[in-house]
Amino acid sequence: MNASAVPYDKPFALRLLKDMLRIRRMEEEAAELYGAGKIRGFLHLYIGEEAVAVGALHALQPDDAIVATYREHGHALVRGVSMNAIMAEMFGKQEGCSRGRGGSMHLFDAATRFYGGNAIVGGGLPLAVGLALADQLSPEGISYGAQHRRRVTACFFGDGAVAEGAFHESMNLAALWRLPVLFCCENNLYAMGTSLARSESQTDLCAKAAAYKVETLKVDGMDVVAVHDATRIGIAHVRDKGGPFFIEFQTFRFRAHSMYDPELYRDKAEVEAWKQRGPLHSYSARLKAQGMLTEDEFLACDAEAQAEVDASIAYAEAGAWEPVEDLMRDVLTPVGGTTS
């Protein structure tokens, strides 16, 4: 465990803890609700990886854009999508953030510039390149000028994505065109059941990005402080210099790939060893050691998170099924409708 001091003021230090707890409790309940048949389809849990979304997203500004994967409940939540809307979406209710059309894998939110919820591995990377290209080209982007900061597009993807052509094409385009993209690689060592070592000739992911002349950082993704600090460095680079930046967050998912996964491909001992480095208890222990957190305060934070989860479940339960008569809506934009 990293025992160095947490260098933040107490409100922010607790904000990080609370957000990790919110994700953890929400997903633990989601797993239960999956078992109860309330949530269906694929459900990919982020449990164990919370420090990455929490540390990274708290380094972004409200007008930055986020592109995420199908393991994105935590990213959506920390970005500001309400837990109610996320839970309702997983229930398939029309109060969901994607009106029940997306489900767990396709959380979207225009208000917070949250562009999914992309369930094709690597599919979000070209999208992020394009969002950044729009920022570079658009009149508003240009008007930021020298004294104003650039908007950044943060793109999350897993280690599995580095095997896709989309990763390599996107890395090249972003570097070639000096686009403001922060590439956030969540390396949890397994692409579903295939370990990095079994699928890549080069397992140093930063070396892959560096091959495209993208600057990189490798960081302990179980340590929310390290994640946050690395992301701040990456963001500063993108805003000040304009080109992309790549961060490899070394992390681990404690749960199966999805609810269908029997986990035949990894040893329990490996999972247990990573759990010892769990982001929640290691961070709270540091805060306690530093005198920034008491056990009572921790329990209060946890209770607050659990209450929010309970309320979101009630909200989702009370939500409505979209009328079947509306089935065909949102295939095309209605005449006179608005575009992003």
Partner 1 sequence: MKTSYREALRAALREALQDDPRVFLMGEDVGRYGGSYAVSKGFLEEFGPERIRDAPLSELGFVGAGIGAALGGMRPIVEVMTVNFSLLALDQIVNTASALRHMSGGQFSVPLVIRMASGAGRQLAAQHSHSLECWYAHIPGIKVLAPATVEDARGMLAPALADPDPVIIFEHAQLYNLEGESNHVAPVDISAARVRRTGSDVSLITYGGSLPKALQAAELLAGMGIDAEVVDLRVLRPLDSQSIVASVRKTHRAVVVDEGWRSGSLAAEVMARIVEQAFFDLDAPPARVCSEEVPMPYARHLEEAALPQAAKIVAAARAVMGK
Q: Is the bond leading into 291 cis (omega within 30 degrees of zero)?
A: no
Quick one: 106 or 253, whose CB is closer to partner 1? 106
Task: Tell me the CA distances in angstroms from 235 to 13, 69, 177, 240, one per residue in order.
Answer: 20, 20, 17, 8
Binding site for partner 1 (CB under 8 A): 65, 96-102, 106, 108-110, 115-118, 120, 123, 125-135, 137-140, 153, 165-166, 169-170, 172-173, 176, 329-333, 337-340
Please tell me the distance from the alpha carbon of residue 251 to that of residue 249, in angstroms, as a whole number: 6
Quick one: 170 or 216, whose CB is closer to partner 1? 170
Quick one: 174 or 256, whose CB is closer to partner 1? 174
Joined tokens for residue 325: 């008569």
Quick one: 118 or 312, whose CB is closer to partner 1? 118
Quick one: 89 or 308, whose CB is closer to partner 1? 89
What are the start-end ranges of the H helices in the chain?
10-35, 50-57, 73-79, 83-91, 124-137, 139-143, 165-176, 196-199, 205-210, 224-241, 268-275, 279-289, 295-318
Output the smallest distance, CB 132 to partner 1, in A.
7
Quick one: 173 or 209, whose CB is closer to partner 1? 173
Output the smallest distance, CB 338 to partner 1, in A.
8
Q: Assign 204 to helix, strand or coil.
A: coil
Angle at which helix 224-241 crosses helix 10-35, to 10 degrees, equals 110
Output the smallest distance, CB 80 to partner 1, in A.
15
Amino acid type, 142: I
Residue 304: count other Cβ atoms within 10 Å of its Cβ.
14
- What is the enclosing helix (H) or strand (E) of 70? none
Residue 281: count other Cβ atoms within 10 Å of its Cβ.
13
* Strand 153-158 versus strand 215-220 pairing type: unpaired
Output the smallest distance, CB 94 to partner 1, in A.
8
Output the smallest distance, CB 331 to partner 1, in A.
5
Please tell me the distance from the alpha carbon of residue 152 to that of residue 154, in angstroms, as a whole number: 6
Quick one: 131 or 189, whose CB is closer to partner 1? 131
Output the smallest distance, CB 141 to partner 1, in A.
9
Decide if 83 contacts 305 (C-beta within 8 A). Answer: no
Please tell me the distance from the alpha carbon of residue 55 to that of residue 255, in angstroms, as a whole number: 20
Quick one: 37 or 337, whose CB is closer to partner 1? 337
Output the smallest distance, CB 272 to partner 1, in A.
37
Instruction: Provide the residue count of the chain.
Output: 340
Output the smallest distance, CB 314 to partner 1, in A.
21
